[in-house]
Chains A and B, each alone.
Chain A
Amino acid sequence: MSSPNFSATCPLPISQYPHVLMAHGGGGRLMHRLLEDVFGKAFSNPLLDTRHDSAQFNVPLGRLAMTTDSYVVRPIFFPGGDIGSMAVHGTVNDLAMSGARPLYLSSAFIIEEGLPMETLWRVVCSMRDAAKKCGVQIITGDTKVVDKGKGDGLFINTTGLGVLAHSLNIAPQNVQPGDAVIVSGDLGRHGMAIMAVREGLEFESQIESDSAAVHEPVLELIKAGVEIHCLRDLTRGGLASALNEIAEAAGVKIAIEQNAVPVRADVSAACEILGLDVLHVANEGRFVAFVPAQEVESALAILRRHEVSENAVVIGRLVEKAAPLVTVKSTLGVSRILDMPSGEQLPRIC
């Protein structure tokens, strides 16, 4: 039943029901058709095709990495991505942050009654394409339909499993004084893309999300023997939250320079207009790496070979073991504390 070459524009396999009904989650014939014709068709692979309650597979010797994440982004489709591709990228990236090669994903869908079947199909096709590109298989899943008004269209949870083929200890506790802090690309695009769509803000150029999988450059760093001390993907809370979490976990002082942080002009302008600090804005395809100073050049050379991290750059360093603190040197050369955002980013009045 697999059709290897259908694209995101391929026809919707369930035509008689233009919207998802409660019955599609009811365990009967309609649900069976949804699972077969939508999920089964899109995600087809030998492990999923067994249609067993649980997928069974052999694992290579060594350590495994496992992670889970839920995706509730609104709108479902946004410039540069959608909830489906994000649900693959986000979980693949979480695995990559421990240096794992991602192998398998689960996917659980919580669908609000009335969601257009077309929308679901587009999301599923996007997940399929993203998984294929990342070299991972979706091998098990679940579908629930909730009453109209009890969900926000569509929520997706993915759990990821990966293998660790290295002996590094990639963890916040492993960062060392003198480590360089590398960021893998420009910041803030995902958060500003979502905010522009959600709030109907129109800028001259459309800002596209940076949603992407970052495991390939990470795996190449490991393969090349770069001594990575810590990796952290930059999601909600942006760079500021990631660095503060590491500073807290390791008991260290981290210092970065505002001028070194890559930010695209349109993102920077949008942040100015809304009064947001780009260091607090969300990303979905960016990470920071802590590596010893002598490894910086080789690390940057490898990262820059990959499109997703072609703008990788050193933005600061780990100063010392100390009370947890992150500082940023302003464009005027004066240092200040870089704090975590205290909650949701709220645009200022004036």
Chain B
Amino acid sequence: MKFLDEYRDAELAQKFAQEIHRITTKPWKIMEVCGGQTHAIVKYGIDELLPKQIELIHGPGCPVCVTPLEVIDQALEIAARPGVIFTSFGDMLRVPGSTTDLLSVKAQGGDVRIIYSPLDAVKIAEQNPAKEVVFFGVGFETTAPATAMAIYQAAQKGLKNFSMLISHVLVPPAIEALMSSPNCQVQAFLAAGHVCAVMGYEEYFPLAKKYRVPIVVTGFEPLDVLHGILLTVQQLESGRAEVENQYVRAVSRAGNQSAQDLVKKVFQVVPRKWRGIGEIPQSGLGLNEAYSAFDAAKKFKLTDRCVDEPAECVAGLILQGLKKPHECPVFGTRCTPEHPFGATMVSSEGACAAYYRYRRQGAKEMVVAS
């Protein structure tokens, strides 16, 4: 396929891999921030092409995984109400809340619909004036402009039956939180290419400087990821800590200005809890005062709550790169995509689900042994 196959070329991949082997002299721990990159790494087996000294740590960049349990529970509560059409991106439907998930709410009669764009939710609201239409607005800076556009359009159209349950999160504060943790082992970052396509990469310069870490804006195809790793290792080996852009075909330094303006118009930066990590200051987007009428949590008078994660789930440690999925005692045995304990097993971009799907051999042996 044009524009994709070029970035999956096996020969070029081998060349990148050989060059990485050639220049690597020490062990390095590199975190790929984005779940899309984790998916590509595991699906294509990119990590197996790398020298043993290079360890890839799978970061918190899966929006489904980091959406807190409390917010999922709020979504479940709204979706179960009569007179509500609850709209969501597909992979949020299987994420377990503390008691159930959206697929089960749908099976019990809730009107839960998968949509591909938040703007479709606005259309549904227009077509169903007697119903309350709610969109589950999750995701990083990548999906925030589309969410913002939906809110903006709904306001322009004067829709009173449209609202959003919002749990948008931001990448740079998460990197900051990871780097300032005393347990942090990450020595460099592959920054999420599509986040930077929207936001540019100005925000990463202070982080690279403060924590002396290389940050390389990286795409999602195998050659992108290998190229990103090569640039990172070059920096690490030569003692540099700079911001570099591997994904030049999609990312400019300033990003997409109109998208950023729209996000600023509708949202304000707020503190946000990340599933498995905890609250990170200034790490989320919430509706600002002018658009607060579209806040589903307020509209449905949802109360704040605090829910405990299953004790055995180590998703938090995995999201921080402190554990690998197969180091979890319940991975692949009691925790599977059909019965996920934590969100990293649910989304196909979650590290546990990616490991389960593509390299379960360890887990299978455990099943046989038990």
The docked-state distance in angstroms from the alpha carbon of A347 to that of B116 is 8
The docked-state distance in angstroms from the alpha carbon of A199 to that of B142 is 22
Q: Which of B45, B93, B114 contacts A335 (CB 8 A)?
A: B45
Contact A348:B348 (CB < 8 A) given known A272-B1, A332-B10, A336-B42: yes
Question: Quick check: A342 and B338 within 8 Å, CB to CB?
Answer: yes
Per-residue A-contact encoding for B72-99, CB less than 8 Å = 1, 0 else: 0000000000000000011111100000
Q: Which of B94, B347, B361 contacts A337 (CB 8 A)?
A: B361
Please tell me if A265 contacts chain B, counting CB pairs below 8 Å.
yes
Please tell me if A333 contacts chain B, counting CB pairs below 8 Å.
yes
The docked-state distance in angstroms from the alpha carbon of A275 to that of B114 is 14
**B residues near A343, Cβ cutoff 8 Å:** 94, 103, 337-338
Contact A346:B1 (CB < 8 A) given known A334-B48, A336-B359: no
Please tell me if A293 contacts chain B, counting CB pairs below 8 Å.
no
Question: Quick check: B10 and A331 within 8 Å, CB to CB?
Answer: yes
The docked-state distance in angstroms from the alpha carbon of A293 to that of B13 is 31
Q: In terms of DSSP, what is the predominant structure of the interface of chain A?
A: loop
Question: Quick check: B63 and A349 within 8 Å, CB to CB?
Answer: yes
Contact A331:B8 (CB < 8 A) given known A268-B1, A348-B347, A350-B143: yes
Please tell me if B316 contacts chain A, counting CB pairs below 8 Å.
no
**From residue B189, how far is it (CB to closest CB) to chain A in Å?**
18
Question: Quick check: A272 and B4 within 8 Å, CB to CB?
Answer: yes
**A residues near B299, Cβ cutoff 8 Å:** none
Please tell me if A310 contacts chain B, counting CB pairs below 8 Å.
no
Per-residue B-contact encoding for A61-80, CB less than 8 Å = 1, 0 else: 00000000000000000000
Question: Quick check: B4 and A349 within 8 Å, CB to CB?
Answer: no
**Which residues of B, 196-226, contact A by the 8 Å Cβ criterion?**
222
Please tell me if A323 contacts chain B, counting CB pairs below 8 Å.
yes
**A residues near B8, Cβ cutoff 8 Å:** 331-332
**From residue B310, how far is it (CB to closest CB) to chain A in Å?**
19
Please tell me if B186 contacts chain A, counting CB pairs below 8 Å.
no
Q: Which of A331, A334, A342, A348 contacts B90 (CB 8 A)?
A: A348
Q: Which of B43, B93, B360 contacts A346 (CB 8 A)?
A: B93
Question: Quick check: B116 and A201 within 8 Å, CB to CB?
Answer: yes
**A residues near B359, Cβ cutoff 8 Å:** 336-337
Please tell me if A339 contacts chain B, counting CB pairs below 8 Å.
yes
Question: Quick check: A331 and B44 within 8 Å, CB to CB?
Answer: yes
Please tell me if A14 contacts chain B, counting CB pairs below 8 Å.
no
**B residues near A335, Cβ cutoff 8 Å:** 45
Please tell me if B356 contacts chain A, counting CB pairs below 8 Å.
yes
Closest to A349 in B: B89
The docked-state distance in angstroms from the alpha carbon of A337 to that of B89 is 26
Question: Quick check: B1 and A349 within 8 Å, CB to CB?
Answer: no
Question: Quick check: B1 and A348 within 8 Å, CB to CB?
Answer: no
Question: Quick check: B114 and A346 within 8 Å, CB to CB?
Answer: yes
Please tell me if A269 contacts chain B, counting CB pairs below 8 Å.
yes
The docked-state distance in angstroms from the alpha carbon of A201 to that of B115 is 11
Please tell me if A330 contacts chain B, counting CB pairs below 8 Å.
yes
**Which residues of A, 257-295, contact B by the 8 Å Cβ criterion?**
265, 268-269, 272, 274-275
Per-residue B-contact encoding for A311-350, CB less than 8 Å = 1, 0 else: 0000000000001010000111111110100110011111
The docked-state distance in angstroms from the alpha carbon of A327 to that of B45 is 12
**B residues near A347, Cβ cutoff 8 Å:** 89-91, 114, 116
Question: Quick check: A350 and B114 within 8 Å, CB to CB?
Answer: no
Q: By the criterion of a CB under 8 Å from any partner CB, how many residues of chain B are at the interface? A: 48
Question: Quick check: B348 and A275 within 8 Å, CB to CB?
Answer: yes
**B residues near A330, Cβ cutoff 8 Å:** 43-45
**A residues near B311, Cβ cutoff 8 Å:** none
**From residue B198, how far is it (CB to closest CB) to chain A in Å?**
11
Per-residue B-contact encoding for A223-253, CB less than 8 Å = 1, 0 else: 0000000000000000000000000000000
**B residues near A350, Cβ cutoff 8 Å:** 36, 63, 139-140, 142-143, 194
**Which residues of B, 206-250, contact A by the 8 Å Cβ criterion?**
222
**B residues near A323, Cβ cutoff 8 Å:** 364, 368
Please tell me if B349 contacts chain A, counting CB pairs below 8 Å.
yes
Please tell me if B49 contacts chain A, counting CB pairs below 8 Å.
yes
**B residues near A336, Cβ cutoff 8 Å:** 42-45, 358-359
**A residues near B222, Cβ cutoff 8 Å:** 331-332
**Which residues of B, 133-148, contact A by the 8 Å Cβ criterion?**
138-140, 142-143
**A residues near B142, Cβ cutoff 8 Å:** 350
**From residue B136, how far is it (CB to closest CB) to chain A in Å?**
10
The docked-state distance in angstroms from the alpha carbon of A272 to that of B93 is 20
Please tell me if B293 contacts chain A, counting CB pairs below 8 Å.
no
**From residue B104, how far is it (CB to closest CB) to chain A in Å?**
12
Please tell me if B56 contacts chain A, counting CB pairs below 8 Å.
no
**From residue A79, how far is it (CB to closest CB) to chain B in Å?**
19
The docked-state distance in angstroms from the alpha carbon of A272 to that of B140 is 20
Please tell me if B64 contacts chain A, counting CB pairs below 8 Å.
yes
Please tell me if B46 contacts chain A, counting CB pairs below 8 Å.
yes
The docked-state distance in angstroms from the alpha carbon of A254 to that of B222 is 25
Closest to B345 in A: A342
Contact A332:B13 (CB < 8 A) given known A339-B357, A342-B337, A350-B142: yes
**From residue A117, how far is it (CB to closest CB) to chain B in Å?**
27
Question: Quick check: A349 and B114 within 8 Å, CB to CB?
Answer: no
Contact A349:B138 (CB < 8 A) given known A323-B368, A339-B356: yes
**From residue A150, how far is it (CB to closest CB) to chain B in Å?**
14
The docked-state distance in angstroms from the alpha carbon of A247 to that of B114 is 33
Q: Other than the known A332-B13, A333-B10, what 20 A-B pairs have Cβ atoms closer than 8 Å? A: A199-B114, A272-B1, A274-B116, A325-B361, A325-B364, A330-B44, A332-B10, A332-B45, A332-B46, A333-B14, A334-B48, A334-B49, A337-B358, A337-B361, A342-B336, A343-B338, A347-B91, A347-B116, A350-B36, A350-B140
Residues of B bordering A, CB below 8 Å: 1-2, 4, 8-10, 13-14, 36, 42-46, 48-49, 63-64, 89-94, 103, 114, 116, 138-140, 142-143, 194, 222, 336-338, 347-349, 356-361, 364, 368
Residues of A bordering B, CB below 8 Å: 199, 201, 265, 268-269, 272, 274-275, 323, 325, 330-337, 339, 342-343, 346-350
Q: Which 6 A-B pairs rank lowest in CB-CB distance, beginning with the nearest?
A: A334-B45, A346-B90, A342-B337, A336-B358, A347-B90, A349-B89
Q: Can you name 26 A-B residue pairings with CB atoms under 8 Å?
A: A269-B1, A272-B4, A325-B361, A330-B44, A331-B8, A332-B14, A332-B46, A332-B222, A335-B45, A336-B44, A337-B357, A337-B361, A342-B336, A342-B337, A343-B103, A343-B337, A346-B93, A346-B94, A346-B114, A347-B91, A348-B90, A348-B91, A349-B64, A349-B89, A349-B91, A350-B63
